[in-house]
Structures are given as structure tokens and as C-alpha cells.
Amino acid sequence: MVATSLADASATYASRGRARHFTCEHVSQTFTGDRGEVVALTDVSLAVDVNEFLCIVGPSGCGKSTLLRIIADLQTPTAGTVRFEGEHAEHRGRSGLVVQEHGTFPWLSAVDNVAFGLKLAGIPTAERRVRAMAFLERVGLAAFANHYPHELSVGMRQRLGIGRAMVGHAPLLLMDEPFGALDAQTRRHMQGELLGIWAADRRTVVFVTHDIDEAVLLGDRVVVMSGRPGRILADVPVPFARPRDLRRDAAESRALVEDIWRLLDTPPATVAR
Ligand code: ADP
Ligand code: MG
């Protein structure tokens, strides 16, 4: 059965006993526009450990992208704070953000788009090109190295944006529905690649998706958010051993996915806080 809501982020952290990467403390976001106020997030508290793979699921409009932007320090929340811990306190801005669209620079070729991530990481020019090419190989874009983004399909552009973020060594990867635009087969491939890269070169990942199967396949933990205004409904550990084989754990993973669906389908007033 699914765990109850995350009442106290620090208590959760203490029980896991790993180094913490950052904590969102009582984060709320209200947007004020011409047509009044939109409350996007209310009182979101969340602790994320170093090298953890955290997935966030929730209905469209519940503030998932807003939360990622706040974590990336691209936006200051209306209330609450995001606190980075230890060595990460100094590197607040060093996160790789993969957005749903426009994740590439249109004026750079594919190989230069990926190399750009390495430039940010301080890798010398010659090495950048070699590593960028090796990476394009991994994501199936080697033949398109010298193409510009507008010459690629939507799915290819998305893979390129993912590649650029993954190839750099940002300690925190923030991924906003990165595989949403991909066809099913490419999506499976990219999920595998992402897990492979994460296993070989651990870093903290916060991965937003509206696909619960994807969250259970990828995450160490799934944070479930309610519809707008977004708040955390539940914080669900994913118990399956890695490397994951969800055919092996088919019954258990199905049950977990169903539990999360039930939470999302529960009318707000009846969800225990
Ligand atoms: P999600 O990513 O979960 O679909 P978002 O974080 O994009 O949700 O948006 C949450 C809510 O906040 C939505 O109702 C959206 O319209 C609103 N919103 C997001 N960004 C802005 C903004 N810059 N100005 C006004 N409203 C916004
Ligand atoms: Mg979004």
C-alpha cells in the first residue's frame, strides 16, 4: 500500500540516512495576472538525497514545471525556500534542466549542442567534440551530427536536448516530461539510456512525468501531486531492485501503479493529509 503524505521532509530524510542534496520547505507559488490569481503550488515540502532518482507525477496544471523552475532557481517562490545542502549549497545554479520543448539551441549543429553542455562543465575543446560524438552515438543521432535542430524531427530534437543535459556533469538533472514527445519505441530506448547513464555516473535526478508506469520504472521514489493547486498527496518508495525488470516484478509493479492511480483519482476532500 502507498505511504501517507510527506508531513515532515526532514523526518523522512533522517529515516533514510543518506546525504541530502536539497530540500524544498513549504514552497508555494501564486501567479498574479490580468485575469486574477492562479495558485500553482501550496506548501510543498520535499527532501531529495544525493544521487536519488525522484519522479514527480500529477495531473496537468498541478505545478510540476513550476516546481522544477523553482528548484532550478529560475523562479523565486511566493513563499517558502529551496535549500541546497553541503557542497551543493555553493552550486545552486549547477543543474541541467531538460524542458518539454525548445531544449536545443537552433543556431548550433547537433554535435555543438551536445558539446555546449561539456563547455559549461569546463571540458577542453578537442575533448568536447570526441565526447559529444560518442554521446550522439548513444542516443542514435551520430548520422545527424552536423544537422541543425530545424532539420531534425521533434523526437530527434528532444533526444538532442536530453543529450546536452546528460553529457554535462551537472550534479542535479531536472527533467520535465523529457520523453513526452517521443514515440513508444524511442521512449523505451531513451528510458534505458537514461538509466544506463545514471547507473554509470550517479547524480541526483528529479524527473517529472504524467506517465505513472514510467515513474515506477525509473524512480527510487514517486512523489504524487494533486490537481491545482498542486500539493503533495503521497511520497511512495519504489521497492524494485535495479537493474529493473518489470516483467519479473510485474504483479507488484502493476499494484503500485494502481495504488498511485487511485490516489490521483481520489477527490481532494477525502485524501488524508
Ligand atoms: P504542470 O507542469 O504541472 O502542467 P505548471 O507548473 O506549468 O503545471 O502550471 C501550474 C499552473 O500555474 C497552471 O494553472 C498554469 O497556467 C499556471 N502558470 C504557470 N506559469 C505561469 C505564469 N508564468 N504566469 C501565470 N500562470 C502560470
Ligand atoms: Mg509542465
For residue range 37-96, what is the model confidence (pLDDT) as tens digits? 999 999 999 999 999 999 999 999 999 999 999 998 889 999 999 999 887 777 665 666
Determine if ligand 1 sits within 6 Å of the CB of residue 61: yes
Q: Is the peptide bond before 268 cis (omega within 30 degrees of 0)?
A: no
Per residue in 19-45, pLDDT (tens digit) is: 999 999 999 999 998 889 999 999 999
pLDDT score of 198 more than 90: no
pTM: 0.85
Residue 193 lies in a domain: yes
**Same domain for 185 and 121:** no
Q: Are strands 232-237 and 221-225 parallel, antiparallel or unpaired?
A: antiparallel
**Same domain for 178 and 242:** yes
Q: Which domain holds residue 143?
A: 104-170
Q: What pLDDT does 230 receive?
A: 92
65 CA distance to ligand 2 centroid (A)?
4
Bridge partners (DSSP) listed for residue 56: 208, 223
Residue that finishes a domain, picked among 170, 185, 206: 170
Residues 6+ away with beta carbon under 8 Å from 44: 24, 26, 27, 28, 63, 67, 80, 230, 231, 232
Determine if ligand 1 sits within 6 Å of the CB of residue 64: yes
Q: How confident is the model at residue 98 (pLDDT cuts 50, 70, 90)?
A: low
**Same domain for 81 and 15:** yes
With 0-12 CB in 10 A as exposed, 13-18 as middle and 19+ as buried, what is 162? buried
- Return the sign of the alpha-carbon dihedral for residues 98, 104, 105, 109: positive
